[in-house]
Amino acid sequence: MIRRFLRQPHARAKGAVGEDRAVAWLRGRGYRVLARNVRHAGGELDVVAQDGDTLCFVEIKARTNPAFGGAMAAVDWTKRGKLVRAARAYLSREPWDGPCRFDVLAIDLAPEADEPRFTLLRNAFQVEE
């Protein structure tokens, strides 16, 4: 899988391969995927899913080289702001009465590994009202 991923010629193609794998991983852990690649003026939501009674906005980050920081580090305050704006736009069109949270799914794609390593950080950050 990782070798196939690394052979993809463009970042967008690599992202699609990684994201497909990530969605399958989430489903295997009980997430019910409601939407993917939801674009709004403020940003994009990689995955909108339901985990029990909680609506989750899942940011997927893949890294092949840890030299530039891990996948979790890529969700800085600027990215968080974009995710919050996109989530608010989503909720304005798709009302939800239950709890919501932001999760980050990091995918380590080390070239020497046979399979990717997934790390899920539930409730990765809080939104201040």
pTM of the model: 0.83
Domain count, the chain: 1
Query: Residue 92 is part of which domain span?
Result: 2-125
Check pLDDT > 80 for residue 10. Answer: no
Task: Please spell the DSSP secondary structure of the chain, one letter per residue.
Answer: -HHHHHH-SSHHHHHHHHHHHHHHHHHHTT-EEEEEEEEETTEEEEEEEEETTEEEEEEEEEES-GGG--TGGGS-HHHHHHHHHHHHHHHHHS---S-EEEEEEEEE--TT-SS-EEEEEEEEEPPP-
CATH of residue 55's domain is 3.40.1350.10
Residue 105: band (very low, low, confident or very high) from pLDDT cuts 50, 70, 90:
very high
pLDDT at 91: 95
